[in-house]
Amino acid sequence: MSIDSIGRADERIKSESVVTKLMKRPELGAIGGVILVTLFFMITADRTMFTLSGIMNFMTPAAQLGILGIAAAMLMIGGEFDLSIGSMVAFAGMMFGVFVVNVGMPLMLAIPLTLALAAALGATNGMIVLRTGLPSFIVTLAGLFVLRGASLVGLKIFTGGSTQLRGIREAVEGDFMAPLFSGDAFGFIMRWLAEAGIVDSFKSGVPKVPGIPVEIIWFIVFALIATYVLLRTPAGNWIFATGGDALAAQNSGVPVRRVKISLFMLTAVAAALVAIITVMDAGSTDARRGFMKEFEAIIAAVIGGCLLTGGYGSAIGAFFGAIIFGMVTIGLTYTRFDQDWFQVFLGAMLLLAVIFNNVIRRRVTGER
């Protein structure tokens, strides 16, 4: 190979356009989706949807789902599924409720304990998958039923027959850790902005949006950390490698087992975090909490560009996937359409996303 031709190749590298670069990103579809859905609601929905309070309205469910979706995306990139996350929300909610109400623990103890126990259950899922070599789909499907049933039975035991555990708000009131997991953050900024007349306020001068719901902050921070880990750390490379080809990764020295177990722990902890936030918000917990969330989280991840076969996807994609979800669920109430169209809409989105991802994947990898 002559020096000459090496020089030419360098020129070719520089000539790759920004558009081609963008086309290679897995989250492209999700960003396109957000734009489409936004346009759709701009045309059809009431104007209030895109006011600050309207945005908070759809971002709150988006955030609750997104925390699960990002964790699910990371696990999917690592080559596994977790169908038990929805039930894990209910189970973790129950554990948290019992710790706070029945045991009377302060949040400083109850929250770490709930997260740790959830992580242990996640690790158990991972261990079973690795030990048996069965598809995680089946193993966690079993988890879906076991944890849902256990939540039901557990709640009945701890409440003396009810499937709802109340009194959480009263129990956590005044706890110094409560503002981290419930209510609104950055209230002072909102008040300041309202005084300056930048955001809408009521006649009394109180801003219409009292602050940013904490889950939105958690959601954004989690998306940023997950993206950083995936793209800029050795662990991120291990996750892609594990999902791409576990054997090849293993032979190259990637600790495949540790990666997988950590990811199962992550999804379980994400579910527990969502449980803590939503339970504190509602002031009670019940056995139906997190119902169907496992599928919604996977849909958000797939819309976000994750391949079902693993090894490809992005956390930021799942972030946008969850926002699409929130916009569609809440957005339809601002339109004159029947709200129940939402499931039809999501199903269609999912199918489109999968088809789109497949095409993109072929283009990126040159699979023939």
Partner 1 sequence: MSAPIIHMENIKKHYGNVIALNGVTFDLRAGECHCLLGDNGAGKSTFIKTMSGVHKPTEGSITFEGKPLSFGSPRDAMEAGIATVFQDLAMIPLMSVTRNFFMGREPTKGRGLFKRFDIDHANEITMAEMRKMGINLRGPDQAVGTLSGGERQTVAIARAVYFGAKVLILDEPTSALGVRQTSNVLATIKRVREQGIGVVFISHNVRHAMAVGDRFTVVNRGQTLGTATRGEITASQLQDMMAGGQEMAALEGSLGGTI
Chain contacts with partner 1 (rule: CB under 8 A): 1, 5-6, 8-10, 12-13, 16, 24, 228, 231-234, 236-238, 240-241, 244-245, 247-249, 251-254, 307, 311-312, 361, 364-367
Considering the complex, state which of residue 245 and residue 281 has its C-beta at the smaller distance from partner 1. 245
CA distances, 315 to each of 63, 107, 122, 227, 301 (Å) = 13, 29, 20, 5, 8
What is the nearest approach in angstroms of partner 1 to the Cβ of residue 5? 7
Are the C-beta atoms of residues 242 and 91 closer than 8 Å to each other?
Answer: no
What is the nearest approach in angstroms of partner 1 to the Cβ of residue 82? 21
Beta strand 285-286 pairing with 164-165: antiparallel
What is the nearest approach in angstroms of partner 1 to the Cβ of residue 119? 19
Tokens 């940013």 belong to which residue?
212
Smallest CA-to-CA distance from 81 within 263, 347, 338 is with: 263
Considering the complex, state which of residue 340 and residue 367 has its C-beta at the smaller distance from partner 1. 367
What is the nearest approach in angstroms of partner 1 to the Cβ of residue 243? 8
What is the nearest approach in angstroms of partner 1 to the Cβ of residue 59? 28
Tokens 């850790």 belong to which residue?
177
Considering the complex, state which of residue 197 and residue 366 has its C-beta at the smaller distance from partner 1. 366
CA distance 267 to 348: 26
For every residue of 187-251, which 3-state class applies, written as one string? HHHHHHHHHCCCCCECCCCCECCCCEEHHHHHHHHHHHHHHHHHHHCHHHHHHHHHHHCHHHHHH
Considering the complex, state which of residue 338 and residue 367 has its C-beta at the smaller distance from partner 1. 367
Considering the complex, state which of residue 6 and residue 292 has its C-beta at the smaller distance from partner 1. 6
